[in-house]
Structure 1
Amino acid sequence: MTPFVAVVFVLLVLCSSTLVAHGGDAEAGAYMLIATSSMKPKASCSGHKVAPSNEASLNSTWAPLHLVSGPCSPAYSRGTDSSSTDDDVTSIAKMLDADQHRVAYIQKRLAGGDTSNGVAGASWDGQTTDVGTYLPASNVGVGAVSHVRPISSLNKMIGTTAAPDGTSAVRQTVIIDSGSDVPWVQCQPCPLLVCHPQRDPLFDPATSTTYSAVPCSSAACARLGPYRRGCSANVQCQFGFTYTDGATATGTYSSDDLTLGPYDVVRGFLFGCAHADRGSTFSFDVSGTLALGGGAQSFVQQTATQYGRVFSYCIPPSPSSLGFITLGVPPQRAALVPTFVSTPLLSSSSMPPTFYRVLLRAIIVAGRPLPVPPTVFSASSVIASTIVISRLPPTAYQALRAAFRSAMTMYRTAPPVSILDTCYDFTGVRSITLPSIALVFDGGATVNLDAAGILLQGCLAFAPTATDRMPGFIGNVQQRTLEVVYDVPGKAIRFRSAAC
Structure 2
Amino acid sequence: MIAMTPLGLLLVLLVLCSSILVAHGGDAAAGAYMVIATSTMKPKTFCSGHKVAPGDVPSPNSTWAPLHHLYGPCSPAPSSANSTAADVAASMADMVDDDQRRADYIQKRLTGATDDKQPMAFSSRTSQYEKNGQYATNGGLGSVPHLKSLSTTATTNSAPDGTSAVTQTVIIDSGSDVSWVQCKPCPLPMCHRQRDPLFDPAMSTTYAAVPCTSAACAQLGPYRRGCSANAQCQFGINYGDGSTATGTYSFDDLTLGPYDVIRGFRFGCAHADRGSAFDYDVAGSLALGGGSQSLVQQTATRYGRVFSYCLPPTASSLGFLVLGVPPERAQLIPSFVSTPLLSSSMAPTFYRVLLRAIIVAGRPLAVPPAVFSASSVIDSSTIISRLPPTAYQALRAAFRSAMTMYRAAPPVSILDTCYDFTGVRSITLPSIALVFDGGATVNLDAAGILLGSCLAFAPTASDRMPGFIGNVQQKTLEVVYDVPAKAMRFRTAAC
Between the aligned partners of 1:5 and 1:138, the Cα distance in structure 2 is: 12
Count of aligned residue pairs for this structure pair: 479
Match of 2:387 in 1: 392
User: 1:51–1:489: structure 2 CA closer, same or farther, 3 Å change rule?
Assistant: closer
1:126/1:282 contact within 8 Å kept:
no
Is 1:62 equivalent to 2:67 in the alignment? no
User: 1:162–1:131: structure 2 CA closer, same or farther, 3 Å change rule?
Assistant: farther
Query: Partner amino acid for 2:115?
Result: T
Match of 2:18 in 1: 17
Between the aligned partners of 1:315 and 1:222, the Cα distance in structure 2 is: 35
| Offset of residue 279 of structure 1 | 4.1
Between the aligned partners of 1:474 and 1:92, the Cα distance in structure 2 is: 19
| Offset of residue 81 of structure 1 | 2.5
Match of 2:80 in 1: 81
Between the aligned partners of 2:166 and 2:188, the Cα distance in structure 1 is: 19
- The answer for unaligned runs of 5 or more in structure 2 is 152-156
Is 1:401 equivalent to 2:396 in the alignment? yes
Match of 2:41 in 1: 39
User: 1:244–1:60: structure 2 CA closer, same or farther, 3 Å change rule?
Assistant: closer
Deviates more, 1:15-24 or 1:184-193: 15-24
CA RMSD of aligned residues (A): 2.6
Match of 2:154 in 1: none
Between the aligned partners of 1:305 and 1:493, the Cα distance in structure 2 is: 20
Between the aligned partners of 2:352 and 2:2, the Cα distance in structure 1 is: 38
1:182/1:298 contact within 8 Å kept:
yes
Between the aligned partners of 1:10 and 1:275, the Cα distance in structure 2 is: 26
| Offset of residue 127 of structure 1 | 3.5
Match of 1:138 in 2: 143
Deviates more, 1:423-432 or 1:318-327: 423-432
Percent of aligned pairs sharing the same letter: 74
User: 1:254–1:83: structure 2 CA closer, same or farther, 3 Å change rule?
Assistant: farther
Match of 2:368 among 369, 373, 380: 373
Deviates more, 1:340-349 or 1:13-22: 13-22
Match of 2:295 in 1: 299
Match of 1:483 among 478, 481, 484: 478
SS at match of 2:168: strand
Match of 1:153 in 2: none
Query: Partner amino acid for 1:128?
Result: S
> Which structure 2 residues correspond to residues 330-341 of structure 1 after superposition, within 5 A?
330-341=326-337
Match of 1:416 in 2: 411
Between the aligned partners of 2:42 and 2:433, the Cα distance in structure 1 is: 25
Match of 1:191 in 2: 187
* Deviations 1:361-390 (CA, angstroms, capped at 9, x unpaired): 000000000000000000000001100000
Match of 2:283 in 1: 287
Match of 2:237 in 1: 241
Match of 1:106 in 2: 106
> Which structure 2 residues correspond to residues 440-455 of structure 1 after superposition, within 5 A?
440-455=435-450
Between the aligned partners of 2:398 and 2:275, the Cα distance in structure 1 is: 41
SS at match of 2:301: helix
SS at match of 1:74: coil
2:144/2:170 contact within 8 Å kept:
no
* Deviations 1:205-260 (CA, angstroms, capped at 9, x unpaired): 11111111111111100001121111122421111123455543221100111122
Is 1:260 equivalent to 2:256 in the alignment? yes
Between the aligned partners of 1:273 and 1:319, the Cα distance in structure 2 is: 30
Match of 1:220 in 2: 216
Match of 1:48 among 50, 53, 58: 50
User: 1:117–1:421: structure 2 CA closer, same or farther, 3 Å change rule?
Assistant: same
Query: Partner amino acid for 1:105?
Result: Y
User: 1:61–1:261: structure 2 CA closer, same or farther, 3 Å change rule?
Assistant: same
* Deviations 1:321-358 (CA, angstroms, capped at 9, x unpaired): 00111011112111110100000011343x31100000
Query: Partner amino acid for 1:91?
Result: S
User: 1:167–1:470: structure 2 CA closer, same or farther, 3 Å change rule?
Assistant: same
User: 1:442–1:246: structure 2 CA closer, same or farther, 3 Å change rule?
Assistant: closer
SS at match of 1:301: helix
* Deviations 1:52-77 (CA, angstroms, capped at 9, x unpaired): 7454522110001111112211112x
* Deviations 1:373-411 (CA, angstroms, capped at 9, x unpaired): 000000000001100000000100010011111111111
Deviates more, 1:30-39 or 1:389-398: 30-39
- The answer for unaligned runs of 5 or more in structure 1 is 147-160
Between the aligned partners of 1:125 and 1:26, the Cα distance in structure 2 is: 38
Match of 1:174 in 2: 170
Between the aligned partners of 2:172 and 2:178, the Cα distance in structure 1 is: 11
* Deviations 1:268-305 (CA, angstroms, capped at 9, x unpaired): 11000011223444322111111111011111100101
Match of 2:267 among 265, 268, 271: 271
Match of 2:29 in 1: 27
SS at match of 2:261: strand
Between the aligned partners of 1:335 and 1:124, the Cα distance in structure 2 is: 46
Between the aligned partners of 1:86 and 1:71, the Cα distance in structure 2 is: 22
SS at match of 2:279: coil
Query: Partner amino acid for 1:28?
Result: A
Between the aligned partners of 1:123 and 1:312, the Cα distance in structure 2 is: 30
SS at match of 2:236: strand
What TM-score results when the alignment is normalised by the length of structure 2? Answer: 0.91
Between the aligned partners of 1:123 and 1:66, the Cα distance in structure 2 is: 27
* Deviations 1:138-180 (CA, angstroms, capped at 9, x unpaired): 333454699xxxxxxxxxxxxxx74224543111121111111
User: 1:341–1:478: structure 2 CA closer, same or farther, 3 Å change rule?
Assistant: same
SS at match of 1:75: coil
| Offset of residue 41 of structure 1 | 2.1
Between the aligned partners of 2:349 and 2:198, the Cα distance in structure 1 is: 28
| Offset of residue 131 of structure 1 | 2.1
| Offset of residue 103 of structure 1 | 0.2
| Offset of residue 114 of structure 1 | 2.3
SS at match of 1:201: coil
Match of 2:378 in 1: 383
What TM-score results when the alignment is normalised by the length of structure 1? Answer: 0.90
1:7/1:169 contact within 8 Å kept:
no
Deviates more, 1:472-481 or 1:66-75: 66-75
User: 1:338–1:228: structure 2 CA closer, same or farther, 3 Å change rule?
Assistant: same
User: 1:389–1:276: structure 2 CA closer, same or farther, 3 Å change rule?
Assistant: same
